[in-house]
Structure 1
Amino acid sequence: MTYPSVTVICLCYNHEQFLVEALDSVLAQTYPNLEIIVADDASTDQSVAIILNYCQRYPQIKFVRNTQNVGNCTAFNLALKQATGTYIIDFATDDVMLPERITEQVTCFEKLSPEYGVIYSDAELIDEDSQHIRNFYRRNQAGALKPKAVSGEIYADVLARYFICTPTLMFRKVVLDRLNGYDSSLAYEDYDFLVRAAREYKFYFQDKILTKRRKHSQSLSAGWYKVGDKQLLSTIQVCYKALKLNRTEQDKQALIQRVEWETQQAFFTQNYPEAEALLALLKQVKPFSLKNKFFKILINYRVNLSFIHRFYYWLVHRQP
């Protein structure tokens, strides 16, 4: 039996608290044909010392050490240049893989046609102490997932809404090669890459929990919508890219849905310049509705309604 090679690119930045559990989970994989590349993005804690210790104990680990902080996208791309696997996993070293993850994902991929370029799955959310919070997908009484997970040609879905747990992703390397990896001009990678990949390839949802995604205060996603955070600007750039990628009326409506959502989030979190930029994009796609005109007035006068966003976030993300 042949086992296609899988490259796990382990991205680290100041993850000393979680690094041992993360690397141990990669080394504990049941899959026999792994290439492990650890890329450190100029950590200022003890992460490098931990990685060097692992490299000494496990000579198969390749270490890409950045002496200057270059950001997630560039750090990943530098590691990708050394990757030889048929399949690629972008693995943040504050997360954890379950032992069967790679075996399960490769088995699934090998049954799919080459049209499928990306697999994703459910995940368990854990806290800083590795304690269970909840599963990524909630389920109603009938067992249906919320948010809804979809397979096949899902470009419009990816563009319109957030429903993919990105730490669960596995790619065919040809997808990354064709798209030239991540866009290093952006502050974060996943939304842009998923939009571009979904334009060209089908996705497949594997209804299994194979990864533990860690929620903690220092994660990149924790800074989302904080005033001055560059991730929102990157989202705006991706929406402008999508404007050129769109082909159908469904695509257009998906972009409108996303831009209207991001405009509201920007406004309620007091990111007023970004909200103005999003409204300018929206105006290129559709005539302003009464609601959009109302938002424009609120944004122009910098009306502070941030308490509404805080309440909504608490309501949505509270534990059941």
Structure 2
Amino acid sequence: MNSKIMVSVSCITYNHEKYIAAALDSFIMQKTSFNYEILIHDDASTDKTAEIIREYEQKYPNLIKPIYQKENLYSKNVDVDDLNTERATGKYIALCEGDDYWIDPLKLQKQVDYMETHSDCTLCVHAAYIVNVNGRKIKPVRPNAGNKIFTVEEVIEGGGGLFATNTMMYPRHLDADKPDFYKKAPVTDYPLAIYLALKGKVYYIDEFMAAYRKGVSGSWTNTEQSSLEKIIKHVNNTEIMLEYLNQHTNYQYDEAINNKNNLNQFKIMIAQERFEALKEDKFKAIFKKLEKKEKTKILIKQYFPRSVRAYKRLRKKYKIK
């Protein structure tokens, strides 16, 4: 086995004491023909996350390379993702946060095998399951039935939910000079996918090799998507990022960007129960493309609002998930 590091696993963690061991175990179980390193960045956790990482560090000192922050940098608007990957030595970077985990011991090997034989591939992703805090499967993140090369337009219109973040692998050398639109983004995974798509080909492997956990206390989804007001703020910030992207690409992807902005505005209007959106041509087209289940939900909200509110009250009262 070559002594050089092929993959740097970047793991950002904060107050993940219930989940960090599952993440670390899923990194350690990887079966590869190459060396890899595990870069852990603990952002001053106030629970036992750091203590658990130290136990693993002592057991695997040549594999696990942690940073233990004394103060939380994310709250100071420091890009902790870049801070962690700056110290990477691998040819490729693989992402996985401390509350997520991988489920296939050959995940890294499969992605590296493809990227090593396709030098034009700048982002390799795969299917994943969204799971709850207990690891129970909720739904799949499977953007295509079968392996596929995604276009820049598809990545833009697909948004941050197109690929699970902990499926992403990309060449480390592309990490150094990220454009302004990336730096203006409210999140990092979506603009990172766009940036990498602009640099080469995005290859999707249609195999479930990761679990992306939702509902974790303190997670980005639970904090930044916890109210309609915060969601609207996030959408507005995303529009700003996409405008920077438009300028960066000389408006080459203007149609895809407009489609994405229209979709985001459509979702906001439906959440606000502004069903006049269904009468506008640009939103009619969006509604037609929705799956039957989503269409039904919207129509029920529109024509049976009292029943929907009563159902929500019952769910809240009896804590139905």
TM-score (norm 2): 0.74
Check if 1:25 corresponds to 2:23.
Answer: no
Distance 1:240 1:29 in 2: 40
- Tell me how far 1:125 sits from its aligned partner: 2.6
Summarize the Cα distance change of 1:183–1:243 in structure 2 as closer, same or farther, 3 Å threshold.
Answer: closer
Summarize the Cα distance change of 1:45–1:257 in structure 2 as closer, same or farther, 3 Å threshold.
Answer: same
Question: What does 1:1-320 correspond to in 2, within 5 Å?
Answer: 2=2, 5-31=6-32, 32-60=34-62, 61-71=64-74, 74-97=79-102, 98-113=104-119, 115-137=120-142, 145=145, 150-151=148-149, 154-162=151-159, 163-179=162-178, 183=182, 186-218=185-217, 219-222=219-222, 223-224=224-225, 226=227, 227-228=229-230, 231-247=234-250, 251-269=253-271
Summarize the Cα distance change of 1:88–1:73 in structure 2 as closer, same or farther, 3 Å threshold.
Answer: farther
| Residues 107-128 of structure 1 deviation map (CA, whole Å, 9 limit, x = unaligned) | 1111112x21110111123222
Distance 2:14 2:254 in 1: 37
Summarize the Cα distance change of 1:70–1:16 in structure 2 as closer, same or farther, 3 Å threshold.
Answer: same
Summarize the Cα distance change of 1:245–1:182 in structure 2 as closer, same or farther, 3 Å threshold.
Answer: closer
| Residues 91-116 of structure 1 deviation map (CA, whole Å, 9 limit, x = unaligned) | 11111112111111111111112x21
Question: Is the contact between residue 191 and residue 235 of structure 1 (CA under 8 Å) also seen in structure 2?
Answer: no
Q: How well do the aligned residues superpose, as a CA RMSD in angstroms?
A: 3.4
Q: Where in structure 2 are there 5+ consecutive unaligned residues?
A: 284-298, 313-321
Aligned length: 275
Q: Where in structure 1 are there 5+ consecutive unaligned residues?
A: 139-143, 273-288, 294-304, 315-320
Aligned-partner residue type, residue 151 of structure 1: I
Distance 1:233 1:184 in 2: 15
Distance 1:95 1:257 in 2: 30
TM-score (norm 1): 0.74
- Tell me how far 1:290 sits from its aligned partner: 5.1
Question: Is the contact between residue 8 and residue 88 of structure 2 (CA under 8 Å) also seen in structure 1?
Answer: yes
Aligned-partner residue type, residue 167 of structure 2: T
Summarize the Cα distance change of 1:116–1:242 in structure 2 as closer, same or farther, 3 Å threshold.
Answer: same
